[in-house]
């Protein structure tokens, strides 16, 4: 069964980097990672991004809560809901 992980982020590039690195240790065959940027510069290491099933999404109206960012992520996921 495929699962999706939605990560809302707001101007925390170092925390996002550590978070993404932790997913390299995941030993599960079928999953996806969706990062929803709620504002600011989204800097993701390209070599790290290539190692993950990663989709980057910009929030349609930046500056809202993390719950607001989960909607675009949920609409973009490909796992069953």
Asked if residue 65 has pLDDT above 90, the reply is no
Alpha carbon distance 15, 48 (integer Å) = 14
Q: Per residue in 8-48, pLDDT tens?
A: 888 888 899 999 999 999 899 899 999 888 776 677 888 88
CA angle 67, 25, 81 (to 5 degrees): 40
Domain ranges of the chain: 3-76
Q: Report yes or no: 50 and 73 within 8 Å, Cβ to Cβ.
A: no
Burial of 24 (0-12, 13-18, 19+ CB in 10 A): exposed
What does pTM read for this prediction?
A: 0.79
């Amino acid at each position: 069964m495929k699962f999706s992980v939605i990560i809302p982020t707001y101007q925390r590039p170092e925390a996002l980097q550590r978070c993404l690195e932790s997913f390299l240790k995941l030993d599960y065959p079928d999953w996806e990672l969706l990062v929803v940027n709620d504002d600011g510069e989204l800097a993701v290491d390209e070599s790290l991004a290539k190692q993950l099933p990663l989709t980057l999404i910009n929030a349609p109206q930046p500056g809202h809560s993390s719950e607001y960012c989960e909607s675009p992520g949920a609409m973009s996921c490909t796992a069953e809901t």
